[in-house]
Structure 1
Amino acid sequence: MYNSFRKKMFGGDNVVNLSDVRYLPRWIILVIDIIILVISLFLSTYIIEKITRSEFIYHREKIVIFAGVIFSNVMFMYIFKTYAGIIRHSTFIDLFKLLISCFCTLFLVGTANIICEWSTGKEFIINPFLILYFIISFMGLFLFRLYVKEFFHIVREYRRSTLKKRILVLGIDEQSIAIARAILDNPSLPYHVVGFLTQRTDSKRAYLLGKPIFAKEKIEENAKEELLIDGVIIIKEMMSKDEMNSWVNLFLEKDLNIFKAPSVQKLRDSDFAGSIRNLQIEDLLNRKPIKIENEEIKRRHFNKNILVTGGAGSIGSEIVRQVAQFNPSLIVVLDQAETPLYDIELEMKEKFPHIRFKFVLADVSNKHRIEPLFQTYNFSMVYHAAAYKHVPLVEENPHEGILVNVLGSKIIATLSSKYNVNRFVMISTDKAVNPTNVMGASKRAAELFVQSLQNVEGNTTKFITTRFGNVLGSNGSVIPHFKRQIEAGGPVTITHPDIVRYFMTIPEACELVLQAGTMGQGGEIFVFDMGEPVKILDLARRMIKLSGFEPNIDIKIIYTGLRPGEKLYEELLSDDAKTLPTHNEKIMISKDPTIEFLEIEMLVNSITKASLRRDKVEVVKLLKIIVPEFRSNNSIYEVLDK
C-alpha cells in the first residue's frame, strides 16, 4: 500500500484509485476493531441504563470492568486471527471467526461473573449487559467488514463498467443466468452485465442477480444511445434458427454488438474468456446437423485401411479428422499441395498420436504414382475429394481441370475396382447439375464415369457419389473472401445483386460423405437437403453489420459482373432427375441419366488426349458431348453451343 501511495504521490499521477489499494496493514484492522468494541461497549451501557434506570455494574471501578471485557475480546480476536484476512475478500470463515471470538468473550466474562456470584454472593455485572454487548459488538465488526467489502465492490464495478462493454444477456432461463453469473464472477472479462433481455412482458419490474430485466419492446422503442448498452450476449443453442434471425435483425438494426456464449454444458472455467466471441455469419447459416449412424460408420472404418485423396483440402482434411475418430488401422492422406499436406500431418500427429498415418505428396492424374499405394495398403474405403474447384481458373484452363477432375477420378475409381476396395465415395458439387462452366461439367463427367463402373463385369466395389453446395469456410469460398475484404476496409465485391447460393458447414458436408459411404449400395448419387438458398447480397450486408460497420457507408458494396461460367442460381437436381427418399430425411438419391462404361471410357480417353495436347477448344467441345446439358454462360465457349 505504501509503495502504491508513494508512486501516486511522486510519480506525477495525482489520482489515488481506491481499487488499486492492495490491503490495509493488520495492525490498522485491529485498531479499528478495538474502536468498534469500545463504541459497542458504550452503546450497550447507554441502552442498559435507559432500560434499567439503575446500576448494572456492581463494582467500584467501572473502568476496570470495561477494560477486562475489551481485553478479553481482543485476546480472542488475536487467538482466532480475525484481523488477518483481507477485508474486501471476507468469506464465511472470516465471519465465523468473529462470531467465535465474541462468543468466547461472552462465555469467559459470563463464567467469571458466575464465579464471582458464588464466592461473594453478588455478580459484578448484570448478564443482560453482556448479551447486549455480544450482539452489538459482533454486528459492528460484521457490518464494518460488510461495508468495506461492498464499498470496494462498488468502486471496482464502477471502474470496470467505464472500461468494459456494457451488455445485456438474452434470456432469463437457467442457462442465461449461469452465463451472466460467470461473467460477473470473472473480473478479467471485458464485459459488464447491465441486465437481461426477454420477449416476456411480465418481468419488467423483476431483477436477476441484482440486474433489471428488459422487455424486447424496450429495445425496439429506444435508440442505442438511450439504452446505454454496447451489445447483447446470446446462447445460440437455446434458440431456433427463426428466433435467432429475428433477434439478430433487431440488434443489427440498433447497431448493437452481438456476442455468442457457449452453453453451460460446454462451459469450462479455464477457457471461458476465449469462448465468448462475436457472432459470425456462419452461426446464422448453420442448420440442425444430420444424424449419422455412428455404429455403422465405425464398423466400416474400425481397423481398416482408408485412403483420402485431396486430404489436405477443406473437405478432405475434415474427412480425415472424422474418420480418425473411428480408430482405423491406417489413413493414407494424399494431396499435391505441399504446405497444406504438411499442416494436416502436424495436426493429425498431435490430435491422434495413436492412429497410423501416411502422408503422400502426389497428383491423382499420375497413375504410376498412385497404383503402388493400392498394391501396398489394401484399402477398404476410398474417399475421393481431390479436384480443381475454382470456376474462373478452370474456365481459363479447361485442360488442367479435365486432367485432375476427370482423369484423376478415372484413375482412382478404376484402381479401386481393380484392387477390390469395398467402397469408393466421390465428392461432387451442385455445379455438376445443368453445368454452365467447365468445372461443373468436368465434375459431371467424373460422376458419369464413376457410375458406369458399378455395372462392369467382375466389379465388387460399391461406387457412391455425394453432391452438395457451397461449404462455409472452405478454401476459396465467399465468406472468408468477404471477411478479408471487410478487414481491409472494403469494398466488398459481389458479381451480381441477384445471385443466390446454398450453404452448409464443413462438418455437416463430411457427415454426409461418411453417411453415404455406409448407406449406398452402389451407383447412387446422394444429394442433401440444403435448406433455403441465401442471397449473397444479404449475406454481405449482414457480415458488414456484424463486423460493426454500415453497408455502403463504412464499407462499400460494388458489383463486378458475373464471372465466366457463373450462374445466378445453383441446382442440386438436373431436369431429368428423379429423387428417391432414404431412411435419413435429409438425404435423397438423385436418379440421373447414366452412360454405359464402354461409351464413357472412350469419351474420357478422347478428352484426356485433347487435354494433354492443351487444345482448350477441343477439350470443351468434347466435354459438351459427354455432358449434353452443359451450356456455357458468360464464357468464350458460348460459340460452341450454337
Structure 2
Amino acid sequence: MLWHRLDPLLTRIRPHREWLALAIDAGIVALCWDITYIFRMGFERWSSAKPSYDHWVMLGLVLLYTQVFLILRIPKGVWRFSGFGEIQRLTFACAIAGLTGAVVVLMAQLVQVPRAVLGLHPVISLMGLAMVRIGYRMLYEHMRASLSGSAQETRRALVMGAGDAGRLLIAGIQHHGWVVVGLLDDNPNKVGMRVGNVPVLGPLDSCAHWARLHGITHLIVAMPQAKPMERRRALDLAAATHLPIVTVPSASELREGEPVAHVRDIEPDDLLGREPVQLDEGGISETLSGKVVLITGAGGSIGSELCRQVARFGPLRLVLYELSEFALYRVEQELSEAFPHIPLVRLVGDVRDPEHLRATFERWRPQVVFHAAAYKHVPLMEDDNTFSALRNNTLGTWHTGRAAANAGVERFVLISTDKAVNPTNVMGATKRAAEMVIAQLAAEATDQGQRTRFMAVRFGNVLGSSGSVIPKFKEQIAKGGPVTVTHPEITRFFMTIPEAARLVVQAAAIGEGGQVFVLDMGEPVKIVDLARDLIRMSGHSLEDIPITFSGLRPGEKLYEELLADADATLPTRFSRLRIARLDQRSDDVSQLLAWAGERSSASDAEVRTQLARVVPEYRPAARL
C-alpha cells in the first residue's frame, strides 16, 4: 500500500524534477558545510567555532555550487539511472566549485573560516550528493520490484475501461513488467473506486490529463464487450496523447480462447468501428461439417483465413491447393497445430494447369470449393503481367470451375473484388470476366442438370492482407516514415480478413447459383485517414512521421464501387448481405477463354483489347 501511494507522488512531481533536484543538491551542500565543521572541530566545538559571518559564507558557497551544477547540467541527470558516469560528473563539479569557493574566501581574507573546512567540504559534499542518488535508485528499484515483481524499468499504463476485463488485466500483467497507475471509465459511479487496488481516476476523455500527470508510457484499451464505435472512440481519445496504444483481445477473440491479460498492438479491425456481420453458424456448419473442402490459393491472405474458418466447422478433409511451396508449408504447419484432428491434403498446384486440376478433383472428390487463387496487386498486373493476370484470374477460374462441375462438386465459390465493378485496370477487368465465367458455368449446370452451384463473393479491400496498405504503412512507420499515400482524396471500402472469410463461407451456405454476394461495408474510408490513425496509435505525431502523396498509380481509381449501375440487387435474410444477379455474357466470355487458351503469351495492348470486348464497362486508364 505504501508503494502504491508513493508511486503517484513521484510521478506527480516528475515535471518539476530538475528544479527539485537542484534544490535538494543545494540543501545537501549546506548540510555538508555543517557536517564538515563537526568532522574538523568535533561535536562539542563545531557551533562555537564558527565565525559570526559563517552563514553568509555558506550561502555564497551554496549559490556557487548551484551555478556550477547548472552550467554542467547536473540537474538533468536521472537519479534512478545514476551510476559511475554520474559520480564522475559530480566529482568534477564539486572540485570546480570547492576550489573556486576556497580561492574567493582566501582572497576575501576571511581568516576565521578554518582552512581544513574549506578543503574537506567538496569531498564531503560529493559523498552526500552521491549517497542521495544511490539511495534514491535503491528506493526506486525496490518500489518497482514491489509493484511489478521486477526491479527492471517498467511500462507505466493507464487502462481505459474499469469493468471485468480491466480487473482481470490488472491481475494478469502487474507482475510482468507493467505498472497499472489507474483506470478510466465513463460510468460516474465507478470514479473514485478501486479495482484490483488501482484507483478509477476519471472518465475516458480525461486520459490526456492523467497521462501527463503520472508519466504514463502506454495506454491499454480494455473494453472487449463495448460496441465497435465505443471502442473506436476510446482509441481516438488515446491516440490524442501521442503515446503507444495496446488493447486487450476483442470479444470474438476472447470467445476463441485468447486470455484477457494478453495485450496486443492495435489491429486493422480495431480501426473500422462497426458491428461485425452476424452469420448463420448453423447453416454454415451443415454445409461444411463432414465434407471434403478444397481451397485454391490456400496459402494466401484470404485463402489461409478461409482454411481457419472452414476448419472450425469440422470438415471431413481439407485439401490445400497452392502454387507457392513456402505459403503451403506455412499454412499447413499452422493448421496442423491448431486443428490436429482434421486430415490435410497438401498439394502444390497451378490453376492454369487443367490436367492437374482434373486429376486432383477426381482423386479427392471435394464437395465444396473456395476459389481464392488470384493475382490481385493492381499496379503489378497493369503492365508487363497483363496476360498472366488474364490466364490466372479468368482462365484459371474456368479450368477450376470445369473440373469442379465434372467432379460433381456441390458448391463452388469464387472470391471476387470491388475492383471488378466498372474496372479501370487489368486486374479488375479479369476478375469481372471471372464473375462472368461463374455465370456461364451456373447456366450450363442448370441446362445440363448438374448439381454444382456456382457463386461469387465480392468485397472491398481486406485490411492486413498481403499487398494491402496496412502492412506497408506499418513498415514505413517502423522505419520512421514518411508514410506514402497515392492521393489525399482516395477512398476504399474495407473489411477485415476474418470478416471476408466468414462472408465467403456464408455465401457457400445460402447460395443458389449464378449469384454474386455483396457485403454492405458501410461508408468508404479515406486512405489518408487510415494512415493518420496508424501513425497516432503507434505513439507518434504527424510531425514525427509525415504523410507524402505519390500520385495515382496506373489503373488506380479514386473511388471504388461495390455494385455497377446495371446490377440488380436482392436482399438476403442477413441485413448487410445482398445478392447481385450477374449479367450473363456467355458468348463473349467463351471467345475470351478460347483466345487466352490457345496462346502462351500476348502483348499488353492485345490483352486490354480482348478484355474491353468482353467487359464493356472496362475503361482502361490512359497510357502515358
> Do Structure 1 and Structure 2 share a fold, with TM-score over 0.5?
yes
- Cα contact 2:193–2:200 (8 A) shared by 1: yes
Q: What is the distance in 2 between the residues matched to 1:305 and 1:217? A: 49
1:573-612 aligned within 5 A: 573-595=563-585, 597-609=586-598, 612=600
Which among 333, 347, 358 is matched to residue 360 of structure 1?
347
Match of 1:251 in 2: 238
Deviation at 1:210, TM superposition (A): 4.1
> Within the alignment, does 1:318 sit opposite 2:305 as a pair?
yes
> Within the alignment, does 1:276 sit opposite 2:267 as a pair?
no
SS in 2 for 1:360: strand
- Cα contact 2:413–2:504 (8 A) shared by 1: yes
| Structure-2 change in CA distance of 1:262 and 1:336 (3 Å) | closer
Match of 1:25 in 2: none
Q: What is the distance in 1 between the residues matched to 2:252 and 2:580? A: 39
Q: What is the distance in 2 between the residues matched to 1:351 and 1:199? A: 38
Which among 412, 419, 422 is matched to residue 410 of structure 2?
422
Could you give the per-residue CA deviations for residues 422-475 of structure 1, whole angstroms, max 9, x where no partner exists? 111110001001101000000000101111121222133110100001112111
Which among 520, 523, 544 is matched to residue 554 of structure 1?
544
SS in 2 for 1:348: helix
Could you give the per-residue CA deviations for residues 526-554 of structure 1, whole angstroms, max 9, x where no partner exists? 00111222111111111111112112x22
- Cα contact 1:562–1:634 (8 A) shared by 2: no
| Structure-2 change in CA distance of 1:518 and 1:206 (3 Å) | closer
Q: 1:571 is matched by which residue type in structure 2?
A: E
> Within the alignment, does 1:563 sit opposite 2:550 as a pair?
no
Deviation at 1:624, TM superposition (A): 0.6
Q: What is the distance in 2 between the residues matched to 1:221 and 1:328? A: 50
> Within the alignment, does 1:437 sit opposite 2:437 as a pair?
no
Which sits farther off after the overlay, 451-460 or 197-206? 197-206
- Cα contact 1:258–1:546 (8 A) shared by 2: yes
- Cα contact 2:419–2:560 (8 A) shared by 1: yes
SS in 1 for 2:224: helix
| Structure-2 change in CA distance of 1:155 and 1:455 (3 Å) | closer
Deviation at 1:200, TM superposition (A): 4.0
- CA-based RMSD of the aligned residues comes to 2.8
1:50-69 aligned within 5 A: none
- Cα contact 1:298–1:326 (8 A) shared by 2: yes
- Cα contact 1:281–1:542 (8 A) shared by 2: no
Match of 2:366 in 1: 379
| Structure-2 change in CA distance of 1:634 and 1:177 (3 Å) | farther
> Within the alignment, does 1:520 sit opposite 2:517 as a pair?
no
Could you give the per-residue CA deviations for residues 319-367 of structure 1, whole angstroms, max 9, x where no partner exists? 1222223332322211111211121222223333332222111210111
SS in 2 for 1:479: helix
> Structure 1 regions of 5+ residues with no counterpart?
1-150, 637-642
Identical aligned residues as a percent: 39
> Within the alignment, does 1:261 sit opposite 2:248 as a pair?
yes
Q: What is the distance in 2 between the residues matched to 1:322 and 1:373? A: 23
Which among 407, 431, 438 is matched to residue 395 of structure 2?
407
- Cα contact 1:574–1:592 (8 A) shared by 2: no
SS in 1 for 2:552: coil
Deviation at 1:314, TM superposition (A): 1.1
Which sits farther off after the overlay, 205-214 or 481-490? 205-214
- Cα contact 2:354–2:399 (8 A) shared by 1: yes
1:187-586 aligned within 5 A: 187=175, 189-201=176-188, 205-216=192-203, 219=206, 222=209, 224-262=211-249, 275-285=262-272, 287-396=274-383, 397-456=385-444, 457-458=447-448, 459-551=450-542, 553-586=543-576
Deviation at 1:232, TM superposition (A): 2.6
SS in 2 for 1:612: coil
Q: What is the distance in 2 between the residues matched to 1:153 and 1:217? A: 28
> Structure 2 regions of 5+ residues with no counterpart?
1-140
Q: What is the distance in 1 between the residues matched to 2:582 and 2:252? A: 44
Q: What is the distance in 2 between the residues matched to 1:356 and 1:217? A: 48
- Cα contact 1:563–1:634 (8 A) shared by 2: no
Equivalences, count: 479
Larger radius of gyration: 1
Deviation at 1:159, TM superposition (A): 9.3
Q: So what's the TM-score if we normalise by structure 2?
A: 0.71
| Structure-2 change in CA distance of 1:561 and 1:208 (3 Å) | same
- Cα contact 2:404–2:412 (8 A) shared by 1: yes
Q: 2:276 is matched by which residue type in structure 1?
A: P
Q: What is the distance in 2 between the residues matched to 1:319 and 1:450? A: 20
Match of 2:146 in 1: 156
Which among 165, 172, 177 is matched to residue 155 of structure 2?
165
Deviation at 1:502, TM superposition (A): 1.4
Deviation at 1:293, TM superposition (A): 2.5
- Cα contact 1:567–1:633 (8 A) shared by 2: no
- Cα contact 2:295–2:319 (8 A) shared by 1: yes
> Within the alignment, does 1:175 sit opposite 2:175 as a pair?
no
Q: What is the distance in 2 between the residues matched to 1:600 and 1:539? A: 38
